[in-house]
Amino acid sequence: MTDITDLVIVGGGPGGQAAARAAIRHGLRVTVLDEQARPGGQIFRQPFADGIYPKDRFGAKHAAAGRAGAALCAEPLIDWQGNRMVWGLTPGGEDGFELFHSGPDGAAALKARRVLIAAGCHDMAVPFPGWTLSGVMGAGGIQAMLKGQGVAPGASILLGGSHPLMLVIAAQLLDFGVTPVGVVFSQSFGRIKEMLGAPLVASRSLPVFAQGARAYLKLHRAGVPVHFGKVVVRAEGDDTLQQVRIAPSDRLDATGETIACDAFGFCYGFTSSAELPRQIGVDPVWSETGGGWIIPHDARMQTSQPGLYVAGETAGIGGEPCAVAEGVLAGLTIAESLGKSVSETEIARAQTQRRHRRDFATLLQRLADPGAALLQGLRDDDTAICRCESVKTGAFRALLRDNPTIHSADAAKLLARTGMGPCQGRFCHRAVQEEIAAARGGSTADAKPFAARMPARPVPLRDLRSLSRDGNE
C-alpha cells in the first residue's frame, strides 16, 4: 500500500469521465472505479458484450459515448477498473484517502491524494400496495436491462410516475420491438407551463427538450396512450404482476380503472448516492426534489472534507449535462490543488457552465416533483415500507405512536429493524423519514438519516478477511 495515485474517481458515468479527461489533460494519474464493466454510467450504459444489439440502437449519442469511454480507458494516465464496488472510504491523513472496493477477483484497498465521488443515483423507492410483486421495478431498472443486457422485462410494460424520463424509456422500448401499454403521469399536462415561465433557463437545455418531444411524438405515432393526472395506486397479481389499478391523482381512494401488464416501471425521481462522503463525516443536506440527502460543496466542488470532491447526482440530481459540467470543474480544481497550472479563466468558464446546468436541473426537479403528500398517500397499512425486513407501514406507524421519543431513522431502526437489511436503508429511508415527519408534525429533513457506515454495500466475509491479512484493520 505504498503506491499512491493522484486521483481516484468513484463512478465512470458522464461526470466521472469528464473529470478524468480534465485531470489527465493536466498530467494527473487517475484511477476510475466503477460497478459496470464498461464506462457509461446509467445514461450511457454499454452492453455487457459486443453484438447483443446494434451499436446505434440507442442513437448516435449513445454510440459515440461508448467509443469515447473506450478511448478514455486506453489513455496512459488512466487506470480503469470496472466491475468494482466501492464500499469504504477513510481519511488517510497526509496520504489523502484510502478506498476499499470489491470485484470478481476479491477485495483491494487503494490510496489517493484526492478523491472525487461521482457515484450517480438510483430510482427513488416509492412503496405502494403490490410493489413487491415480481414484475414491479424502478423504471431505471427497465432501462438498465435494455442497455446492459439487450432484453426487456416483459411483453406488456407500463410506466408510471412523475418524471419525464419515462417518455424516453417508453420510446426505447419501441426501438426494441416492445410496445408499452401506456405511460401514466401523476401531474397534469398543464405543468409544462412551468417551463415556459423560465424561458432563458429552458433555452440553455434545448437538446433535453428535443429528446422528450421526439419521444412523445414517437409514442403518439405508435398509438401508445399517455395519461396525465393519474397514478398507479395498486399492483395486482398472485405471485407475479398481472394488472395495475390507476386513479386520479387527487382521488387516490377512487375505484379507478385497471390496465393489464406483466411489468410496471415506476419513476417518481431519484435518490442520490451519497453514502461514501457521509462515511467520513461529511454532513448531507436534504433536498426534497433533488435526490434526498445530497452532499454540499463549495464553488470548486470540494466538500467539507479537504481533498474530497463531488460531481453529478451525488451533489444533487441534475442529469447528464450537469454531471459533465461539474465533472470538468472538479477535474480542473483538483489538478490545481495538486500544484498543476490551471487557468483561472478556464475554471471560471466551467463554473458558469455548471451554474447554467444546475438552474435547468432545478426547474426540471420542480416539474417532476410528485409531492410528499401523494407519495405518502399511496401507502396503506399493509404496504411493505421496508422490503428487506418485511416491515409493514401499519406496524411502523403503530410503533411511532407507541414510542413518541423516536425522531430519527436510526432510532426507529433499533425497534422496527427498518434499514437493517442488505440495502442498509438506501431504499426505505425516504419513506421512513416521511412517516416519522408525519407522526411528529415536522418536515422530512427533521428526521435524520440512517448513519452511513462501512461497508456501504453487502461485502463477502472473505473480502474483509483478505484485507485484514493484508494489514488493513
Q: How do residues 159-199 score in pLDDT, each as one tens digit? A: 999 999 999 999 999 999 999 999 999 998 877 666 556 66
DSSP code string of 68-130 = HHHHHHTSTTEEEE-S-EEEEEEE-GGG-EEEEEEETTEEEEEEEEEEEE---EEEPP---TT
Is residue 115 domain-shared with residue 159, that is, in the same domain? no
Record the cell numbers describing residue 425, joined without a space: 436503508
Is residue 262 domain-shared with residue 136, that is, in the same domain? yes
Contact partners, residue 162, CB within 8 Å, separation at least 6: 185, 186, 187, 267, 268, 269, 368, 369, 370
Record the cell numbers describing residue 429, joined without a space: 429511508
Is residue 209 domain-shared with residue 169, that is, in the same domain? yes
Cα dist from 35 to 84, 111, 208, 353, 357, whole Å: 5, 19, 26, 28, 26
**% of residues, the chain, pLDDT over 90:** 81
Domain count along the chain: 3
Is residue 15 domain-shared with residue 88, that is, in the same domain? yes
Is residue 114 domain-shared with residue 129, that is, in the same domain? no
Would residue 330 count as lying in a domain?
A: yes
User: Could you report the per-residue pLDDT of 380-439, keeping only the tens digit for each?
Assistant: 999 999 999 999 999 999 999 999 999 999 999 999 999 999 988 999 999 999 999 999
Would residue 138 count as lying in a domain?
A: yes
User: Could you report the per-residue pLDDT of 52-64, keeping only the tens digit for each?
Assistant: 998 888 889 999 9
- Check pLDDT > 70 for residue 363: yes
Amino acid identity at 73? C
Containing structural domain, residue 229: 125-268
- Check pLDDT > 70 for residue 22: yes
CATH number of the domain that residue 410 is part of: 1.10.10
Q: Regarding beta strands 85-91 and 97-103, do their DSSP bridges make them parallel or antiparallel, or are they unpaired?
A: antiparallel
Would residue 455 count as lying in a domain?
A: no
Is residue 277 domain-shared with residue 337, that is, in the same domain? yes
Is residue 226 domain-shared with residue 287, that is, in the same domain? no
- Check pLDDT > 70 for residue 225: yes
Residues 235, 130: contact at Cβ < 8 Å? yes
